Structure 1
């Protein structure tokens, strides 16, 4: 499930009943010991095709800042894409994950054998 490439694409996809743009998988900024400038760069990242994904407002509220161990969209057909996006964001920003998150992602990866993680390290 892990891979890397500098390829850039933009996609608009709806993963819920209504189009609602939300920052791609939120990873709490508190876990990263970053400068204010780095936090702002993360929060305003427009260089990744996965910065915003379309989900319903209800899904966005239920997700909050939960990781894949705590929350996944009810639409199972999107789980592989979501996991790849999550991992790509973690790799892009060099963010760590906890053991529960790791185990959840490994479990998802078992069903996502054709999914590739695409990311470009953040500047």
Structure 2
């Protein structure tokens, strides 16, 4: 069966509308809205005492593979790993901006809920072991491979101050953000809740 060019052109936006990859355990919009309603809303806590070193990350997961390398393998296509587990080749599509990369050096592993944001919304009271688990979480949608300079632009901003360049990813981004905050019982600000509500309404 042949498909006409006009049909292919019509289908193209549907293909491009859902960037890959999809991290694990992303809730439905309905579930995310329920979880959002259950989060504690309060003013953001202090940055005092924060340091990235208090969130040990890129720990060894298996053999010589650390967390970054596991996510690069998971989120990429045709990823070839060297004997030290580093990605020597592959293709990565950044869900934040839709850009495609073939060099692992062009890709960052983003902490969806930034470590600093987590610190100010409850993680300052955690143990180092709890912060390590958060910074290396492969079970929830907390880690994903994205364009490095887009990740830099995001910094430690919450959704009230930064959103993915692709508006088509707003829904998934908000679903993931709410899931992570819910799993770890982290608080949100009123501005953060407003932004997340708006993004979930695009689902």
Q: Do they fold alike, i.e. is TM over 0.5?
A: yes
Count residues in correspondence: 106
Runs of 4+ in 1 over 4 A off after TM superposition: none
TM-score by length of 1: 0.74
CA distance in 2, matches of 1:25, 1:18: 23
Query: Is the strand fraction higher in 1 or 2?
Result: 2
Using the alignment, how far apart are the partners of 2:198 and 2:118 within structure 1? 25
Greater per-residue helix proportion: 2
Matching residue within 70, 86, 105 for 2:196? 105
Structure label with greater radius of gyration: 2
Partner of 1:3: 31
Structure 2 residues without counterparts, runs of 5 or longer: 1-28, 33-70, 76-92, 102-106
CA RMSD in angstroms comes to 2.2
Task: Describe the shift of the 1:77–1:52 C-alpha distance in structure 2 as closer, same or farther (beyond 3 A).
Answer: same
Q: Give how far 1:52 is off.
A: 2.0
TM-score by length of 2: 0.47
Q: Deviations over 1:31-80 (max 9, x none)?
A: 222122211111121222x2322221111001011011000111111111
The higher-RCO structure (CA 8 Å, 6+ apart) is 1
Distance 2:177 2:130 in 1: 19
For structure 1, the 5+ residue unaligned runs are 5-9, 113-123
